[in-house]
Amino acid sequence: MDAAVKAVTDRWGRLDILVNCPGGFHETQHMANTRLDEWRAAIEWNLTSIFSVMKSAMPAMPASKYGRIVNIASLAGR
C-alpha cells in the first residue's frame, strides 16, 4: 500500500480521497456453520485491509491540508 500511495503522490503531488470498499466472505452461510478460520479470514479481508490502506494513505493527506476517507461496505455487507 505504501508503494501505491507513493505512486499517486508522485504522479499528482497529493492524495485527497481514499475510498475503501472491501467485502466478501468465502461462502455465505449460517454463523453456526462458519469455522473460526473462515471468520478470521473474513475479518482480515474486510477490516484489517481497510486499516492497512488507511495507515498508508493518511500521512499523505496533511501535505495538501485536505483529505477524506470513505469506508463503505460491499453487497456482501448486507
Cell of residue 62, nine digits? 496533511
Count up the domains in the chain and report the number: 1
Compute the distance between CA of residue 78 and CA of residue 74 in angstroms, rounded to an integer.
8
pLDDT digits (tens, 9 = 90+) for 15-74: 999 999 887 666 677 888 888 998 898 888 888 989 999 999 999 998 778 889 999 886
Q: Which domain holds residue 12?
A: 2-77
Q: Is the pLDDT of residue 4 over 60?
A: yes
Phi first, then psi: give them for residue 74, nearest 5 degrees: -85, 180
Count helices and strands in the chain by DSSP H and E runs: 3, 2
State the CATH number of the domain containing residue 52. 3.40.50.720
Report pTM. 0.74
Q: Is the pLDDT of residue 12 over 70?
A: yes
